[in-house]
Structure 1
Amino acid sequence: MVEEMQMDLRTLHRYGGDGDDGGHGDGEDEDDVLDLDHIELCSFMEQIKSAVQLVRAALQEKVMRMTTNTRGGEDDDGGGDEAFPSGSGHLKSVLESLDPQLKQCALCLAVFPSGKAIKKRLLIHWWIGEGIVRSAAAGKACFQDLLSRGLLQPAMLRPHCNTAHYCRVHPSVRDLLVAAARSFSYFAFDRDGEPTDECLPGTTRRVTLCRTRGSSRHGGGGGEYVTVYNLSQRYVEMDEAWLGEQRGMGTLQLGRWQTSPEHHVEMVRPGGVLGAAAAAACRNLRYLSLRGISLVESLPESIGDLRDLVVLDLRACHNLETLPASMASLGKLEYLDASECYLLDQMPHGVCKLHRLQVLKGFVVASAAGGKKIPPCRLADLAALPLLRKLSVSTGRQLPVAPDDELPRLHGCAALESLSVRWGAAAAHAGGGGRMDLSLLPRLAKLDLRRVPAEELQEVVHPARGGGLRKLCVRGGRLRAFGDDVTWDVVETLRVRFLERLDCEWRQLRSTFGKLRFVDKRRCPKLSSWRCDAQGIWRREEDDGGDRN
């Protein structure tokens, strides 16, 4: 019966689309997840699946116990199970069977509330910061291993992608992890199993910022720490002198980890986060996150002293206006996220000197106007980044449209696999801008266009025959048609949203996109002829007439 239930669940769990884009990349943004009813359905389905696994484990454990009793009462585990949740013998054995690297990855999960969505990328960055994994690819492998062993559950699944970009921890698993984390002095917990900001003794030291009222001015404990992680603190104030003692710190997550922007974080003294003394001391820092923190208007020049920094997450720092020229010294940086920093109007030229950079989000195309304090980085300069795989671009506040010589120069990024271009509101109404030739980007697999300023798609991008593009997403803008004389002969996944002017018959769509396997349509009122279901989804394998025009 259990096998039949699991088979039925696997049938329900089928999702179309490609897998993860690998490495540091998200795959999708937070606003690309399913609607609430879909999320609830997926969540309920995963809960049933987890319950089936727990029932099966309990049955196996009962059979083993009965077998032991028939053999004359052999010795059991020798006690100690009282520290773990009831009926978790199977989960305990799974945890004990993990190799040291995977066990450390699992113990990091103990601080998160059960059932809450956790972004995969943030976990991997934490593991990189602590040195548990050496690369994003290794972190991704550990994440998949934890999923396959049942210590993690997928969350916030998407209809166009069968890869989990979010996860959550089941309550029973979390109880087990909390007990294990206590025994290893990995974190401090109260009697209810909730993490505290208490300082634990030992050679490996971690602290969480957990107070929900008032501000937390951390720095009361002596010694060195490898991790400071903000779980729920809204007002953060770090002691500069204390930071100056943290020579072994690898992870400093001061921003929010939650997926919702409703979890607001403020820096009490923004200028004191990384002063000269702190930056000089924290030379081993590999992961720094100010994600979603307000009142941070700039980063100090001393950030250039963080020579081992691998990940810098500045996403949704809405007050951030400038980035320092000293960023050119971050020679080991692989991931830079400055997306949703809407006051940022240029990137420093030193960005093109970050030769290990693989992911760059929030690159701002600056205006050509003079008077810039720091020379801006141009798209053409990014050709100097041989490992750049993922790039998101937007036009600055003072730039109505991207200059005609900017977007076409993207062809210098030969390793680019994922590209997102967002035109500003002024550009969407003004029209114009250069045209990208995808034949010059042979490895590009995903293209995301937002607020397209042209009426025909071929005015901003020219498709490549036989290229590698598999996913195309167009959201918002003035688009009316894909173009009569062009074909996208390799695109398999098409997503269109908020295109009130787009008018295209289903027959014409199938002619333009001959290899379509998946379509996601949202708020496009003139596309009523498309063969999508009530949720705006079409899958070729589920459509009896899918092969007909």
Structure 2
Amino acid sequence: MSRRTLVTTSFKTPYVSLDLLSYLKSGQVTPFQVFNDVIMPDFKDHISKGNNSPNNAAARGILEEIEKDLDPIGKACERFQKWEVEVSSAIKKLAYQSLDDAFRERTEALENTNRAKFLRDKLEKTRSLVSRLKESVCSASIKMSDETSKDSDTPQTGEELQPPKEIDIVKVRREIEEIYKGLEGKRRPCLLCFSMFPEDAVIKKKVLIHWWVGEGFIDTSATGESQETVEEIGNKFFKEFLEKGIIEPFYKRSRPSADSCKMQPSIRDAVIELARTENFFDFDRNGNPTEDFSCSERACLVRTIEGSNVRELPLLSSQENVQSLINVNEHDLYFRPNWFSKMKSVKVLQLGRWHSDKHLIEVEDCEFLKGLKNMRELRYLSLRGVSRITELPASICKARNLRILNLNGCCDLEKLPRGIGSLKKLTHLDMYECYLISGMPKGLSLLSNLQVLKGFVISKRSGSQDCKLDDLSKLENLRKLSIHIDRNQAKTAERELNSLAKFKKLQSLSISWSRIYDKPATHSLQTLQRIVTKKLTRAKRITKLPSMFMAPEKLPSMSMAPEKLPSIPESPLHLEKLDLHYFPHSTMPDWLKPTLLGKLKKLYIRGGSLSDLCHNGINCTWTVQMVRLKFLDELEMDWEKLRGLFPKLCYLEVVKCRKLDFKQCDVNGVWKEED
């Protein structure tokens, strides 16, 4: 019997007693779960059969005291188990990195001038991982020390690890309850949403805002120029929670702004108690949300130590009342047939991953999505990172209330339904990292309320059924656009990009000239390669693997034959943020003249062949305040030239640009202007 797989039933038959005796004699470490889930129920069973004698009454009192002490012990064991997983994960990353670096050192011909930099980069990555590992270990040690010191009379010496000041849990709960009572309108249920996330989780603001939109806590069509977007309203809520000390910002690197947040464990416990009181979620005794929706309108998919329980989810009449279904940490979504058929009132289906970890979530097939035809109230659907979904069923077009559709990282998705234009209320559509989509349906141009579109593909096909970039210029509310251009379609892209000058409301633009938007995790590439290989065997319609599946050393050079750069009419663009991935040319095109980008504040360039940030070698100045430069091997300039180009620069991030060596940047390649 493994350490994690235990007998959890009571002693109702002699066979269980024999199983337990065999387990105890095996010499394995006896975890808390055996005592709590096996021995304690047996005590209860024996006492319940006794009479009302003084001895039995005393035994009941002792049992109650023991049960009170078991709750904090259970939470401590759960934290230790989580810490153990985090430490194991960090060590695995360190080991994989070591193997990867060793492979590179053997296969890449490094010049002597580059070997020192290669070694320094390797050590910096190792230091970063070891630092995070130390934080994880020390954090767990402090928590365990804090709990054990409460029951210990042993004095602490100055050299020993001092626990933090004891937190008055009752006081924290009272304070959070008072804050909760003072919140206005929809801010109360917005706060309760934090109860779903695990302890110490880093939560992206975007995930919560989309959830709030789905629930109807935030609702705006953003059709007027002065009307706020859902992001602006959501940011106000976050600002208020920050000011009240409920959450704290989480900064990536040393960036001046944070798009994620965290919640202190004691505050999280208080929010869970509020959510339990309001029947916002159903929780187990450890404060973890459950899949039980019999007493709440919301349920969670939670993977336990024993494994997945999605297949065992029952078909109940109460499913008709479910408003939200949130995937907390389930990787295998193997739903029973027709399980979604009764969920006619659901508004939120967060089935994909909500965190940045790029693990894949698997489904058996697309059959479960047929239940979408009954979900007329659905407002938010996330399938982020879900594999084996090759196409969305046409029934999704009946979800006329749908506001947000997140398909990010659906690596098997090949096309969108043609009738997508009927989703008139859709404001956000994310298809980023959907590598197999080769064209866009014409119906995209009918989504008049669309504000955010990620993963738009400029197709090489000339059919009338494909949506062109020019068709999107009619979408008056579009403010954020992400485009993918196949590196072999430069001439087609040149014609398409001419229409960018027509996008008057566009504030953020991202363009990728590569089949690989970002360097996916190794397991993702392996999964994609396996899928393509299966299709080759089954259909025999592809004669060779696309370059995105080649080994890195076999990828063709990102540089392209000299061609005419995209020529866009010299009309100013109103962009505030520009993100270029794998730009294939060495010099800036005409449409990237600083004079045409007078409102630009953020410039991010990742990969490609760019060697100069000036236009035709002419010195110029940008209005940009934030610059990120990553993996630009040909870009070369000194610090004085950089400051001359960006006189308003406040933040600079340089990652693996071999010809840029700014001593003003820290070890992470970050420079920030001092206040």
Structure 1 partner of 2:255: 160
Whether 2:363 is the aligned partner of 1:267: answer yes
Superposed, 1:50-89 pairs within 5 Å as 85=170, 87-89=172-174
- Which of 406, 414, 434 aligns to 2:496? It is 406
Superposed, 1:217-296 pairs within 5 Å as 217=311, 218-223=313-318, 224-239=321-336, 241-262=338-359, 264-273=360-369, 275=370, 278-296=371-389
Task: Quickly say closer, same or farther: Cα 1:194–1:311, change in 2 above 3 A.
Answer: same
TM-score (norm 2): 0.64
SS of alignment partner, residue 627 of structure 2: strand
Task: Quickly say closer, same or farther: Cα 1:38–1:320, change in 2 above 3 A.
Answer: same
Q: Partners of 2:483 and 2:341 in 1: how far apart?
A: 35
The answer to whether the 8 A contact 2:485-2:493 is kept is no
Structure 1 partner of 2:594: 463
Q: Partners of 1:38 and 1:90 in 2: how far apart?
A: 37
Task: Quickly say closer, same or farther: Cα 1:383–1:427, change in 2 above 3 A.
Answer: farther
Q: What letter corresponds to residue 560 of structure 2 in structure 1?
A: A
- Which of 645, 652, 656 aligns to 1:523? It is 656
The answer to whether the 8 A contact 1:429-1:478 is kept is yes
Whether 2:172 is the aligned partner of 1:92: answer no
Q: Partners of 2:508 and 2:570 in 1: how far apart?
A: 14
Task: Quickly say closer, same or farther: Cα 1:199–1:462, change in 2 above 3 A.
Answer: same
Deviations 1:69-92 (A, max 9, x none): xxxxxxxxxxxxxx9756533223
- Which of 416, 419, 427 aligns to 2:509? It is 419
The answer to whether the 8 A contact 2:293-2:322 is kept is no
SS of alignment partner, residue 208 of structure 2: helix
- Cα distance, 1:102 vs structure 2: 1.2
- Which of 284, 301, 324 aligns to 1:209? It is 301
Structure 1 partner of 2:545: none
- Cα distance, 1:235 vs structure 2: 1.0
- Which of 623, 641, 650 aligns to 1:508? It is 641
Deviations 1:249-296 (A, max 9, x none): 11011111121113x3111232321x1xx3332111000000000111
SS of alignment partner, residue 491 of structure 1: coil
Q: What letter corresponds to residue 447 of structure 1 in structure 2?
A: L
- Cα distance, 1:199 vs structure 2: 2.2
Q: Partners of 2:309 and 2:411 in 1: how far apart?
A: 20
Q: What letter corresponds to residue 384 of structure 2 in structure 1?
A: R
Task: Quickly say closer, same or farther: Cα 1:443–1:465, change in 2 above 3 A.
Answer: closer
SS of alignment partner, residue 361 of structure 1: strand
Q: Partners of 1:255 and 1:438 in 2: how far apart?
A: 41
Q: Partners of 1:464 and 1:437 in 2: how far apart?
A: 14
The answer to whether the 8 A contact 1:427-1:453 is kept is no
- Which of 419, 424, 437 aligns to 1:326? It is 419
Structure 1 partner of 2:49: none
- Which of 516, 535, 545 aligns to 2:668? It is 535
Q: Partners of 1:400 and 1:108 in 2: how far apart?
A: 45
User: Higher mean Cα deviation, 210-219 or 323-332?
Assistant: 210-219
Deviations 1:22-73 (A, max 9, x none): xxxxxxxxxxxx98959979x98xx99xx9xxxxxxxxxxxxxxxxxxxxxx
Whether 2:558 is the aligned partner of 1:428: answer yes
The answer to whether the 8 A contact 1:405-1:434 is kept is no
Greater C-alpha radius of gyration: 2
- Cα distance, 1:540 vs structure 2: 3.6
- Cα distance, 1:409 vs structure 2: 1.4
Whether 2:454 is the aligned partner of 1:357: answer no
SS of alignment partner, residue 409 of structure 1: helix
SS of alignment partner, residue 384 of structure 2: coil
Structure 1 partner of 2:43: none
In structure 1, runs of 5+ residues without a counterpart are 1-33, 52-82, 543-549
The answer to whether the 8 A contact 2:498-2:569 is kept is no
- Cα distance, 1:232 vs structure 2: 1.3
Number of residue pairs aligned between Structure 1 and Structure 2: 463
SS of alignment partner, residue 481 of structure 2: strand
- Cα distance, 1:141 vs structure 2: 1.9
The answer to whether the 8 A contact 2:493-2:566 is kept is no
Higher strand share: 1
Q: What is the identity percentage for the equivalent residue pairs of Structure 1 and Structure 2?
A: 33
Q: What letter corresponds to residue 643 of structure 2 in structure 1?
A: R
Q: What letter corresponds to residue 476 of structure 1 in structure 2?
A: G
SS of alignment partner, residue 414 of structure 1: coil
- Cα distance, 1:437 vs structure 2: 4.9
The answer to whether the 8 A contact 1:393-1:421 is kept is yes
The answer to whether the 8 A contact 2:575-2:597 is kept is no
The answer to whether the 8 A contact 1:215-1:235 is kept is no
Task: Quickly say closer, same or farther: Cα 1:176–1:233, change in 2 above 3 A.
Answer: same
Q: What letter corresponds to residue 334 of structure 1 in structure 2?
A: T
In structure 2, runs of 5+ residues without a counterpart are 1-123, 143-167, 221-229, 516-555
